[in-house]
Amino acid sequence: MTSQPRKLPYGDGRDALLAAVISVVAEKGLRGVTYRSVGSRAGVNHALVTHHFGSLDGLLAATMEWAVRRSIEETGLEGIADFDESFADALIGSVGAEPELQLFQFEMILESRRNPEIREMVSRLYENYVRTVEQALVKKGIDTHNEVSLAAFAALDGLMLQFLTISDVTRIRPAVVEVGRMLARLQKPG
């Protein structure tokens, strides 16, 4: 006897599908994303994918936006300008608590090299992150010319990739703190 997909309250199916994509990609990569795998993981009928998103590409685009928004909120990226160890702890703690969220984004980044349609999504992903960093730095009185925001985000992005793959927090945490120290040196007096 096959089990029927569970009935979710109205509106919950969309979020369940988004969370399912992240879970499937973390386990199987982007090639594992099918209507059935996502529906099954979400515990809903796979027809909900087309109902909510139109296609798998629409589902991936929505998942990317959802993942970036959640990641910015949960990692406390707006706090980058605080330049302190609590920012490093919050960033590492957030990424460590839900690594699938970051792994999904890294998978999308790698796939964008092979798929020009995904490249536009990835470009927006970076724009959102860099804009968040830039806003935080400007509030702290740091002139963000010469791509300071991009460099700061790239450093943190690379460190989080290393954290997810190598998992050596004893090396990663001090490096995150050092990024903050380097940024603090750019702060205008006053």
Within 2-55, residue ranges assigned H as helices are 12-28, 35-42, 47-53
Query: Which of 11-15, 18-22, 51-55, 180-184 is the most confident on average?
Result: 18-22
Task: Please report, rounded to a whole number, the percentage of residues in the chain having pLDDT higher than 90.
Answer: 47
Which tokens belong to 169?
């927090």
**Averaged pLDDT, 28-44:** 93
**Averaged pLDDT, 42-70:** 90
Per-residue pLDDT tens for 88-144? 999 999 999 999 999 999 999 998 998 888 898 899 888 988 999 999 899 888 888
Which tokens belong to 27?
């386990």
pLDDT of residue 6: 46
Alpha-carbon gap, residue 153 to 131, rounded angstroms: 10
- Tell me the pLDDT of the chain averaged across its residues: 86
pLDDT of residue 146: 67
Per-residue pLDDT tens for 8-35? 444 567 889 999 999 999 899 989 999 9
Q: Is 5 left (phi over 0), alpha (psi -120 to 50) or beta?
A: beta
**Averaged pLDDT, 157-181:** 93
pLDDT higher than 90, residue 172: yes
Which tokens belong to 49?
């994918």
CATH number belonging to the domain at 1-54, selected among 1.10.10.10, 3.20.20.450, 1.10.10.60, 1.20.1730.10: 1.10.10.60
